[in-house]
Every structure is written in C-alpha cells, then in structure tokens.
Chains A and B, each alone.
Chain A
Amino acid sequence: MTGHDMTGSLLVQFLAQGVQMTLVLLISPLAVGVVRRVKAVLMRRQGAPLLQAYRDLVKLVRKEAIVAESASWLFRTAPYLIFALTWVAAALVPSFASGLMFNWAADVVALVALLGAARALLALAGMDVGTSFGGIGSSREMMIATLAEPAMMLIVLTLAIAAGTTRLAGVADFFIAQPFAVRVSMALSLIALLIVALAENARIPVDNPITHLELTMVHEAMVLEYSGRHLALIESASHLKLVLYFSLLVCLFAPFGMAPAAAGLAGWLVGLLAWIAKIMLCAALLGVWEVSIAKMRVFRLPDFLGIAFVFGFIAILLAFLSRGVLA
C-alpha cells in the first residue's frame, strides 16, 4: 500500500477488514474443535471429529427454536445482539495485519465495553424465563465478571504505560518494533490475562464447558432455555469470544509475523498464516491445560481471580517503577 491511489487503497483496506471479519467467524468453530480434539486424544477417548462444531451449528440453525411461554422480547432479541456485539469485538482485534481500516476503533477499553454489554444481555436473558438455573448462572456470571474486569483494566493500563496507547494495533506495532525482551510487568500481565481469559470463556478451572451438572455450571446454566437458531447464535458467540481472546493474547504478547501497516499482499499472507498457526497452537495448549487440572469450587473463584488482580497490580507498579514515574 503506497498510498498513491487512495480509492484503491481504501477499497483494499475495506476488503482486508472484511476478510478479517469473516475469517474470525469461520475459524472459531475450528478452534473449538481443536480444543475438544486435543482433550479427547489426551484422555484416550474416541472424541468428536474436528469439524463437529460446524455440524452442531448447522444442525441447530435448521432446528425449530422453542421459546418458553414466560419469555419476553428480551429473550428473543438477546441472542442476535450478543452475537453481533461479540462478532464486532472479535473482528476488531488485529489478527494478521496491524494497519487495517477499523484499527482506530480497536481499543482495549472499547473491547472490554463490547464484551461487557454482551455479558449483561446474556445475564438478563438467563433470568428472563424465570427458571432457577438461569438465575444461578446469571448471578455467578456477574460475580466472575466483577472480579475479572478490574484485573482486565489493570492489564490494559500496564500495556498502555508500556506502549503509550490503548489501541491494540498501536501496542502490537510497538512490540514488533522493540527488540525481544522479557519484562517482569509484561510476564505478570500475561499470566493475569490468561486467568481472565479462562474466566471469561468459561473454561476449566472456572467453569466446565462440557458438563450440565447443576451445582457447577455457570455459562451453560444461563443458556439452558435456548434452542434452535438462538442457541446456534449463542454458541457461535462463545466460539468467537474464544478466538477473540486467543487473538488478543497473540496480538499483545506474540505479535511476531503480523504484517505492519505498510505491508503489501505478501506481508498479509505471511501474517495470515502466522496468525492461524498461533491460534491453533493456543487452542491445543488450552486443551492440554484443561485435561491437566480440575475445576475449582465456585467459592474459591474469588481467590483465583484475585491472583489475576494481584498480578495486574504488581505489573502496573513495576511498570511505574521502571519508568520512574513516581519519582
């Protein structure tokens, strides 16, 4: 992109953003499939085929959506809104290139807000029908959210101190330009972000995505009343959220290979391949992680998420100290 031909450049930029948008949607069930596949192989189970998540979505879309008698309009509109919000958020995180059209909007604070709105809708929808499970799920989800979000904001601020911006593309560009270095504050924010990501995506040890055991489920309890295309949308949104967090981790802590703003088509292709490889690696690692530990009691979650907060806080203190801001 030389910038001589503005309209062509704009069009290409627009197309690239569109490619990223469709890409996250298309790849997300595959990432979930990889997680499940890795878990199945490690547990020596037969397991579902790699593409089962796609088949599930197609099956759900074809099926009739059954809505409870007591459900209000909120119950019916929530899945669409949740899906839309999560998709926008996932499409904003820079994946293969940092100079895309809507990168100015890919601000971490905006991401947190989009995901928070989606979560609030889901919690409301969970309580809408009036079943007790939905209520339990919503209350637990909100508890986890109130614990995870402060930690997330601390991580964001740490990165903002280091890179001087909260725009993801700017942070990624900053870290690509830097020589490789291990910084304590970055390492701590990485751990904190991993914990937040596990909590936000309802993975073990915070929540188990494969059980429907009433005592432990959080995310599943909220979506228990959904069926058909509504459920498909919500499932797809949770797949998107997983890819979003993978992308976020990769973009912030391993942006190697991502095409810089001025890269041409070849750079984008390299970035694309690198991104897909990194997402699949993340999915495989998540699978290994999930088989190696057990789910925590709900009452221990504040402690677990407290670690994320503590690490975020130490990270920000260290970032301040090494910059001498306090002096």
Chain B
Amino acid sequence: MNGYDISHLLAGAMLVTSFALLYQDRIAAVLNAFAMQSITLALAVAWAAWSDDRPDLYITALIALALKGIVIPLALHRTVERLGIHHSVEKVVGVGVALMVGLALTGLAQALVVKVASGTASHAREQLALALAIVLLGFLMMIVRRNAVTQVVGFMSMENGLILAATGARGMPLVVEVSVAFSVLIALFVFAVFVFRIRERFDTVDIEALDRMRGDSR
C-alpha cells in the first residue's frame, strides 16, 4: 500500500461518482453524488499535498471541501426545494445510452492521454487520463440532462475534473486556483438567477422550453 495507490484510488473514485451522476435520475441523488465527488476531490488533493509535501494544496482541498462539498450542494438543494422539482430529472437519452457514451468518452480520454503524454511518468499520466475523463463526463452530463439544475451540476463536476488535473500537474499558482474557485461560485449565483428567471418566464426549468421559445420546436 503506497501513496501512489491511494491517489489512484481517489481519482478512480471520482470517476465512479461521475458515472453515478449520469446514472442517478432524481435531483436530490444527483446533488448528493456531486457532493460526494467534491469531497473525494478534496481528499485526493489533500493526499497529494501530504505525499508530495506541497502545503499550498491544502488550501485547494479546503476550498473544494467547503465550497463544492458543502455550500454549493446545500444551495442547490434549497433551490430545488424552492422550485419544487425534486422528483425526476428530464433526460435527452436513456440511462443506458448515456452510460455507454460515457464509457466511450472514458476510453477516448485514456487513448488521448497515452498518445499525448507518452513521455511522462505513469502516475501523472493516469491522473491526467482520469481527470480528462471526468471533464468529458461533465460535458456529457450537461448535454444529456435537460434540467437547468443538473446542468449546473454538470458544469461543477467538469470543474472538479480540472482541479484534479491541476493537482497532478506541478505548479498551478494558488492565485489561479483561488480565482477559479470563486469564479465557479459566482457562476453558481448567475446560474441560480437564470434558473429562477427561466422558471418565472416559462413555468418550468426544462430547457426545451427555451427551444420552443426560439422557434425551433420539434
């Protein structure tokens, strides 16, 4: 049991929660899965800080835990409650198809990283491959879910993947990290405002209503 195993395990656990995000079909469960992913991210970053002796990463871990592990999920839970939409998530495609596409994306991420980063150490390469897969799955989540709240979650989970990638790569300045974290928080507010505006306007947070509004209904 060495440090390499643990960081690999935590990154793998994050990938699994990404798939959990795709699999869940209730908003509350999606939010819980997202909170779990963020907490795993915080653990992974804290582990990297401890094993590589880079104390600045502790701050990153703390930000991830406090903001994305606790504050944002709670805020989204409250939003969902106030909107009264806690039953099911509207999806563009079924769970099975989404999972299969997710698998293909994971494979793509791995093949890509193996080709691009063939010179680097296998540890960094694996971390990067997992992080890229998480980013792509976040994209996928934004594509296959029509509900505005789950789109926010997809965006945030994408950002989790980015932080994981940055942890593996040495030397992301703390200033950049802090500013990214806060821009994500601001993005949450913007999203929240938009969600409420959309609801006010169309009586739903299903973004297909926006398509109809634009005139390209099916």
Majority DSSP secondary structure for residues of A touching B: helix
Contact of A307 among B6, B13, B23, B125 (CB under 8 A): B23
Instruction: Tell me, yes or no, whether A324 is within 8 Å of chain B by CB.
Output: yes
Contact of A326 among B23, B99, B106, B114 (CB under 8 A): B114
Instruction: Tell me, yes or no, whether B129 is within 8 Å of chain A by CB.
Output: yes
Instruction: Tell me, yes or no, whether A67 is within 8 Å of chain B by CB.
Output: no
Contact A184 B9 (CB under 8 A): yes
Contact A179 B1 (CB under 8 A): yes
User: Which residue of chain B has its CB nearest to the CB of A184?
Assistant: B12
Instruction: Tell me, yes or no, whether B138 is within 8 Å of chain A by CB.
Output: no
Contact of B106 among A307, A317, A324 (CB under 8 A): A317
Instruction: Tell me, yes or no, whether B103 is within 8 Å of chain A by CB.
Output: yes
Contact-size category for B: 20 to 34
A322 to B123, CA, bound (A): 8
Contact B103 A314 (CB under 8 A): yes
Given contacts A311-B16, A317-B110, contact A306 B96 (CB under 8 A): yes
Instruction: Tell me, yes or no, whether A266 is within 8 Å of chain B by CB.
Output: no
Instruction: Tell me, yes or no, whether B5 is within 8 Å of chain A by CB.
Output: yes
Q: How far is the CB of B16 from chain A (nearest CB, A)?
A: 7
Instruction: Tell me, yes or no, whether A10 is within 8 Å of chain B by CB.
Output: no
Collect the chain B residues with CB atoms within 8 Å of residue A326's CB: 110-111, 114
Given contacts A182-B6, A302-B96, A306-B95, contact A314 B16 (CB under 8 A): yes
Instruction: Tell me, yes or no, whether A60 is within 8 Å of chain B by CB.
Output: no
Collect the chain B residues with CB atoms within 8 Å of residue A310's CB: 19, 99, 102-103
Contact A182 B1 (CB under 8 A): yes
Contact B102 A318 (CB under 8 A): no
Chain A residues 292-307 with CB under 8 Å of chain B are 302-303, 306-307
Chain B residues 10-69 with CB under 8 Å of chain A are 11-13, 15-16, 19, 23
Collect the chain B residues with CB atoms within 8 Å of residue A181's CB: 1-2, 5
A187 to B10, CA, bound (A): 11
Instruction: Tell me, yes or no, whether B126 is within 8 Å of chain A by CB.
Output: yes
Contact of B99 among A179, A183, A188, A306 (CB under 8 A): A306
- Count residues of A near B (Cβ-Cβ below 8 Å): 25
User: Which residue of chain A has its CB nearest to the CB of B102?
Assistant: A310
Collect the chain B residues with CB atoms within 8 Å of residue A303's CB: 23, 95-96, 99
Collect the chain B residues with CB atoms within 8 Å of residue A321's CB: 110, 114, 125-126, 129
Q: How far is the CB of A212 from chain B (nearest CB, A)?
A: 30
A321 to B11, CA, bound (A): 14
Contact B106 A314 (CB under 8 A): yes
Collect the chain B residues with CB atoms within 8 Å of residue A302's CB: 96
Collect the chain B residues with CB atoms within 8 Å of residue A324's CB: 114, 122
Instruction: Tell me, yes or no, whether B8 is within 8 Å of chain A by CB.
Output: yes
Instruction: Tell me, yes or no, whether A180 is within 8 Å of chain B by CB.
Output: yes
Instruction: Tell me, yes or no, whether A177 is within 8 Å of chain B by CB.
Output: no
User: Which residue of chain B has its CB nearest to the CB of A183?
Assistant: B5
Contact A182 B9 (CB under 8 A): yes
Q: Which B residues have a C-beta under 8 Å from some C-beta of A? A: 1-2, 5-6, 8-9, 11-13, 15-16, 19, 23, 95-96, 99, 102-103, 106-107, 110-111, 114, 118, 122, 125-126, 129
Q: Which 10 A-B pairs have the closest CB atoms?
A: A184-B12, A326-B114, A303-B95, A327-B114, A313-B103, A182-B9, A310-B99, A182-B5, A181-B5, A184-B9
Knowing that A303-B95, A307-B23 touch, tell me 8 more A-B residue pairs with CB under 8 angstroms.
A182-B6, A183-B8, A184-B9, A302-B96, A306-B96, A314-B12, A314-B19, A317-B107
Could you jot down 7 A-B contacts, CB within 8 Å? A182-B6, A183-B9, A303-B23, A314-B15, A314-B16, A318-B126, A326-B114
